[in-house]
Structure 1
């Protein structure tokens, strides 16, 4: 009686477990030996003794892609994020779930590094249509001088000038009509401080100092073990913020194409040594040639510095030409003087004969008079 009383609770527990597995869709052996993609049989008519009668159970919705009609074990679609309702990543790697993040990007190339702050749910600040960029062509300018010049042109406006570069200033015009009038001119003369400037439309938001460029780059010498989207994204972040990786270039021979945001896409050019499993590879970065039509998100600082260097070079050439002309004039004047002195020595004072002749004539005249 003692053994029976000990076995009864175990048998009752086994019956409860088997009933639970039946409610979940089959016995434990069925779940253990079921292969991928196999339809799970559902017992029908077991109470009637029809043990051979089965019908396939509907699989429902796939938890990987969110689509119905197949199981996640055999799914070949991209993952679906239940948080942001988009494809390409799972909810655990969603940027909205991770919160704000700060990245260091572009530091594989000199002068191209920047800090990238991601704020979930934020949108770029809308740029007003009357934002302008004033480029100084000649004269000495400052924030106070530019404000005084603009105040002299339109006095009933609070001009807030911000210096963005050595020779460039950002300013908000009263309206687009005034901005169009000034931007259509090749240059404007600011009379108070004798400044010559050029006005451009600006895509920078008030308070911003620069905008990044968007373009394609090519990565050469990528080993086969790194030819996947995740590894390429990490390598390309040495040049900027990755937007998309060309998946066709991953399976083709040749370079891998990546679209990214960077400071100056044309300056992303060179070799970066990347170690993969203790083995170093010289990865070559080259901007994709597109006829010089890179999508410019705004006037980059590098472009403004290049324009400044060109202007300084032109001034140096002008100064050098002026000094050269002065030196040539001095040499010509010196050669004329030396030739004049040499001619005087050769004639033996013939240039003074006029004086002698005059003296002789006067003597003769004097003798005749006597």
Structure 2
């Protein structure tokens, strides 16, 4: 199967094996029509191996971790069963070791389909495939959606309260913690590099239209400072779909629109902005990366008070701010990304990664690597 593809299930009871060169923990989540678990008991994994119609098989000898789904026994209010894989090693990533899902007829052992996701990077967990209802039939979809915060991140997106699965091996030495993901429940958020914020409040999507605004101070002497804000849209395979920049002001029938080029940074408030109507984006858009380039050639160490902020387009309220402090001597910066989670919500992550590029064209490859 290819990523995003689906196929009918030709067996009523199937086993999904997930293998990789690294040791994996395979889990399943039973989701209702709202895309959430009914309770924490709907997470099936090595510490809770039995659920209604779903069971976990631990790796033994030549047999890998696996999930078995008996579609006849799955409760009627469960719309789909999501199969995930997370790395057993605390500091490991899937970079260069993409796992393969093998779906077998549980009765005969015959292989029905296989699926290997496209290139992965910093992900530590993955929604591999899902078994879902379509009317009275059951089908299989190849997903390949990655997460950087392990099983806890996957489970949290689907409504499970979990900190981290208990390790089956002695704990490794502590590794530097990444900033936690927060929501907008308490209002405006100031992000630090690597920090993430989920665009939900009280468990529901807060907004559908946002503005990503950029500001900086004009040069006090010498050449004018011309910064350019751009937005690069990617699909699930990290392939570029479109770029919105000063040479192309809108894409996807206006779902992403640039407000226009500012050549100097003069004027109060924001200097450039990009409006994004999240509901208007085609389903193949999985990630948006916002980048800034110094078209005039000054390095960011020469630019004062550069920032980006996320604004609710409907109310004008500032939701998230990320200031470019501790700038580096480069002409391009990958500011932040908006990633559509498999559960449907959008999550913004501050990146602040500097590269040498003066236009958006030079930012595509480094942006893809950071998704």
Same fold (TM over 0.5): no
Higher relative contact order (CA 8 A, sep 6+): 2
Please, what TM-score do these two structures have when normalized by structure 1?
Answer: 0.21
Higher helix share: 1
Please, what TM-score do these two structures have when normalized by structure 2?
Answer: 0.21
